[in-house]
């Protein structure tokens, strides 16, 4: 039995972790903390977890996590670097769902996140937890930086194409649409129903913190610098990310060849589905799948990709469990696919 805990369990990613962990018979969720909701029972905050999670949220007290095999940190960015150093002393391993350990370059972090990095000593050992690219390193990692939701939806389809040089690493244009759960569970006029419903707005154009994350991960894949533009949009739905990408075709590949390249690249990846038809959010909601397809626009020599994930599953909690499965030599799909995926 693997014993785990969650720091920041009251937010949407934390709740999704609890939902996905609850039916596991090989994992025991022992401790859940949430500073702002300490003292509340989980099923009081999330009535849908009644009879499923029988725990009370505690304050963040490091000693509570002593001896656990793994701790998930589901805090807003800036929270991870505060608690992870201490957690690594007390528990075996940590998966941070926030952005604090995704960038190896602390200065780059500070310029996009807007505050100093206070745990730079841990950056060298942090492993970017995208299992489809980094499985070998994830297996042995003590500190996993779980990828951002937008980056997951963009990196997965771009990686095989950059790897073989079928698209230019420069001038990539990424446009993403996100449901509101991606912004977390918090009181804000901007996220209120009356402001989001019947509305669309772009935000953080050219300044979103996922830009350097996508660029640096893809640069490693491509073996050279990658330069891209990224514009995220808030659209009126609760769950789901839809990402449309334009990249310049290099060479003479046609659509079928590129789809085959992608299918081959992900032949052993249970959660990537390379599609013939245009994907849609509703086909991946509540699952750990990333669905994508691509088109070669002959007229403009552009490769056009459409990709979709559930931001709370493959974009957060599901991916974290996929990482956990690899770290503890469990089947990669345990609790995430088919007979193993329990929804309550």
The contacts of residue 43 (CB under 8 Å, 6+ apart) are 49, 50, 51, 52, 53, 54
User: Is 13 among the residues that bind its own copies (CB under 8 A)?
Assistant: no
User: Is 177 among the residues that bind its own copies (CB under 8 A)?
Assistant: yes
By beta-carbon proximity to its own copies, the closer residue of 89 and 190 is 190
Q: Does the annotation count 142 as an active-site position?
A: no
Nearest alpha carbon to residue 129 among 326, 285, 334: 326
Residue 109 CB, shortest distance to its own copies, in Å, is 17
Q: Sign of dihedral through CA atoms 312, 317, 320, 324?
A: negative
By beta-carbon proximity to its own copies, the closer residue of 96 and 310 is 310
- Range in contact with its own copies (rule: CB under 8 A) among 83-91, 94-102, 143-151, 172-180: 172-180
User: Is 338 among the residues that bind its own copies (CB under 8 A)?
Assistant: yes
The site for its own copies, by CB under 8 A, has a size of 81
103-112: long-range contacts at Cβ-Cβ below 8 A with a sequence spacing of 24 or more? 103/212, 103/213, 103/216, 104/216, 105/212, 105/216, 108/212, 108/216, 109/212, 112/207, 112/208, 112/209, 112/211, 112/212
Burial of 254 (0-12, 13-18, 19+ CB in 10 A): exposed
> Please, which of residues 91-130 interact with its own copies by CB under 8 A?
none
User: Is 152 among the residues that bind its own copies (CB under 8 A)?
Assistant: no
x/- map, 35-74, its own copies, by CB under 8 A: ------------xx-xxx----------------------
> Please, which of residues 230-259 interact with its own copies by CB under 8 A?
231, 233, 235-240, 242, 244, 246, 248
**Catalytic residues, which ones?**
149
């Amino acid at each position: 039995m693997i014993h785990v805990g969650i720091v920041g369990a009251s937010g949407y990613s934390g709740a999704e972790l609890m939902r996905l962990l609850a039916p596991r018979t090989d994992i025991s969720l022992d401790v859940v903390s949430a500073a702002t909701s300490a003292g509340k029972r989980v099923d009081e905050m999330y009535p849908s977890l009644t009879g499923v999670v029988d725990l009370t949220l505690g304050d963040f007290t490091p000693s509570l996590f002593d001896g656990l095999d793994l701790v998930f940190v589901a805090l807003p960015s800036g929270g991870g670097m505060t608690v992870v150093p201490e957690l690594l002393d007390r528990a075996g391993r940590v998966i941070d769902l926030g952005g604090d350990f995704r960038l190896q370059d602390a200065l780059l972090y500070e310029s996009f996140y807007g505050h100093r990095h206070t745990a730079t000593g841990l950056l060298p050992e942090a492993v970017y937890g995208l299992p489809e690219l980094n499985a070998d390193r994830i297996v042995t990692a003590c500190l996993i930086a779980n990828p951002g939701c937008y980056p997951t939806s963009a990196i997965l389809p771009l990686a095989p194409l950059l790897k073989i040089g079928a698209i230019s690493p420069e001038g990539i244009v990424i446009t993403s649409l996100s449901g509101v759960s991606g912004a977390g569970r918090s009181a804000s006029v901007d996220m209120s129903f009356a402001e989001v419903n019947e509305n669309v707005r772009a935000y953080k154009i050219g300044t979103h913190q996922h830009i350097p994350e996508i660029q640096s991960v893809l640069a490693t894949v491509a073996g050279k610098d990658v330069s891209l533009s990224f514009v995220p949009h808030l659209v009126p739905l609760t769950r789901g990310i839809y990402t449309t990408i334009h990249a310049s075709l290099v060479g003479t590949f046609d659509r079928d060849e590129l789809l085959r390249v992608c299918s081959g690249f992900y032949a052993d990846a249970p959660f990537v589905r390379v599609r013939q038809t245009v994907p849609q959010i509703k086909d991946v909601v509540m699952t750990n799948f990333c669905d994508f397809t691509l088109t070669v626009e002959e007229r403009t020599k552009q490769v056009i990709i459409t990709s979709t994930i559930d931001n709370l599953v493959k974009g957060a909690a599901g991916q974290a469990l996929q990482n956990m499965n690899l770290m503890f030599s469990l089947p990669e799909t345990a609790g995430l696919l088919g007979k193993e995926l329990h929804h309550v």
